[in-house]
Chain A
């Protein structure tokens, strides 16, 4: 039990499909993240949500659309993807502190969704 659960673990989709990745954390964290892991490249931060508000969007194409309905759930909606979007998509969560409080905890990661776009 990692505390961060991602579903599905594997996904194959066509370029015209619409699908969603789901992430759920049971750690009481208040920040959640989407990362993309491609072969031989560093992990790329895609989106950050803090207290359900998006605070980071690293120039991600609009075919990726995140949603954070509450502090425990994070979605990544996918539509009209390209083959180069095939990768491992990792969700993470952490506890962000407020002003005057101890600094953030380390990020805890899910097992990822292996996405293949055909």
Chain B
């Protein structure tokens, strides 16, 4: 069984502040993918990043950065210098690689981020 926990239900920060969204996961699989998706008010989930379990390098993409720590089963997402357009619900997700060809993408409950202008 696998589980993704996003303990922060809602976060509000003032524009230009940095904000970190937490994601903790549980899985018995030794190899897996982790994802972050953004869901703006329009509804579709927008893919942000995929990280495989054997690559613990942190990643930075513009104002976004991700901190993957296998030892603590966490995959946190930081937005630097937040902007109003960052307001959305953010989902962390997990899928095992061992269950080849039949991925079970498990999502967290999401964190609603509001950037206050």
Contact = CB atoms under 8 A, between A and B. Distances in A.
Contact of B43 (A43, A45, A112): A112
Contacts of B105: 45, 107
A96 B105 CA distance: 13
A45 B104 contact: yes
Contacts of B80: none
A97 B103 CA distance: 11
The dominant DSSP class at the A interface is loop
A2 B38 CA distance: 13
Given A43-B107, A106-B50, A55 B102 contact: yes
The dominant DSSP class at the B interface is loop
Contact residue range for chain B? 20 to 34
A109 B45 contact: yes
Quick one: which of B4, B44, B102 has the most chain A CB within 10 A? B44
A61 interface: no
Nearest to A44: B107
Interface residues of A, number: 29
Given A55-B102, A56-B102, A109 B97 contact: no
Nearest to A40: B109
A90 B39 CA distance: 11
Given A88-B43, A107-B47, A108-B47, A41 B102 contact: no
A90 B91 CA distance: 14
5 contacts: A56-B102, A56-B104, A98-B101, A106-B35, A109-B45
